[in-house]
Amino acid sequence: MTDQYEEMKPSLSIDQQIVRLTELGMMVDEQLAADRLARIGYYRLSGYWFLFQDKSNNGMFFAGTSFEQVINLYEFDVALRALLFRYTGIVEVAIRALVSNTLAEKYGPLAHMDSSNFFSQANYQTFIKDYEREKERQKEKAVFVQHNLTKYGELPIWAAVEILSLGTVSKLYGNIKSPVIKKSIAKQFDLEWSRLKNWLEVLTYIRNACAHHQRLYGRKIPLEIAFFDDCDKVDARTLSGVAKVLAQMLLFDSAATQDSFCKELVDILIEYRYVDSRRLGFPDNLSSTFDRARNKLAKREQGIREV
């Protein structure tokens, strides 16, 4: 180590970790702590218990903080991640199908290989690099990739999207040159194309955070959600805002899917009612969280298209 860096903290045994937490004022059930520290890890759990620490008092825990509280918060976060990951997967599959079907119908099976179909050539070249890298990685693993490359020498767009991440597909969508195509895809979600582009970026961020088991609780979304003018702007960087986005986009799949998501989310918030869900942007009145999505459903059922 050079002088510009601090000396790295020493590693601690499980027993030493428990002593450290006790010294900082946490009430610790040693048997529970030993089990969870071994299975989850001190560092991962520290992302949750720091919310209970007083920074102005050398990181001492606030009076009454228990290890069980931390585990309850962690398990809430796990349940929330699992729910969001499962339902963003539905949107991910839908946008793959919509982008590939629409581009293929307009430009043919190799629509993704023609740079003239896309607006920014710099962004298109980035897409091609990502696509070629993933194709190379998958050609020895995925049978459908091997089949298409052997038979046709290239993947048709409906196969190509299956090896691309949600982030790459959403960027491909945002770079489509034809405004007619972008609008036709966005119309399926009752959105303007620019708002759909933003919402896909937000869902990509959440999907990746969930896939890598990153903490959601207390996290601000780094992208501002492009809400409608009549929505509360406080939601623009919160998990509550993400939930509203996801609820509306799930209506493309079915009203039942949207309803299931909303009910499951409310069930989690009720089950872990001792967790302060206001840190995620959820109001005390949970029923108001999905008002817009419900209104969209009501108007669709009445055959009324919102402007």
What are the backbone dihedrals phi and psi of residue 53, each rounded to the nearest 5 degrees, phi first? Answer: -100, 145
pLDDT digits (tens, 9 = 90+) for 90-143: 999 999 999 999 999 999 999 999 999 999 999 999 999 999 999 999 998 999
Contacts from 258-266 at CB under 8 Å and sequence distance 24+?
258/293, 258/297, 261/83, 261/87, 262/290, 262/293, 264/83, 265/83
With a CB cutoff of 8 Å and minimum separation 6, the contacts of 237 are 220, 221, 222, 223, 224, 225
- Structure-block tokens of residue 127: 């897409």
Question: What are the phi and psi torsion angles at 285 (to 5°)?
Answer: -90, 90
- pTM confidence score: 0.89
Q: Which residues pair with 60 in a beta bridge?
A: 54
In the chain, where are the structural domains located?
A: 14-65, 74-301
Helix, strand, or coil (residue 61): strand
Q: What is the pLDDT of residues 146-182, one digit of tens each?
A: 999 999 999 999 999 999 999 999 999 999 999 999 9
pLDDT at 230: 55
- Given a contact cutoff of 8 angstroms between Cβ atoms, the answer to whether 103 and 176 are in contact is yes
Q: What angle do CA 304, 305, 307 make, to 5 degrees?
A: 130
Compute the average pLDDT of residues 225-234: 70
Query: Is the pLDDT reported for residue 295 higher than 90?
Result: no
Determine what percent of the chain is predicted with pLDDT higher than 90.
79
What's residue 306's pLDDT? Answer: 36
The yes-or-no verdict on residue 245 having pLDDT over 90 is yes
Q: Is 281 exposed, middle or buried (0-12, 13-18, 19+ CB in 10 A)?
A: buried
As a whole number, mean pLDDT of residues 72-87 equals 97
Band of pLDDT at residue 233, cut at 50, 70 and 90: low
Tokens for 108, please give them: 């043919």
pLDDT given for residue 236 in this prediction: 82
Burial 200-219 (b: 16+ CB within 10 A, else e): bbbbbbbbebbeeeebbbeb
Buried b / exposed e along 143-152 (16+ C-beta atoms within 10 A): eebeebeeee
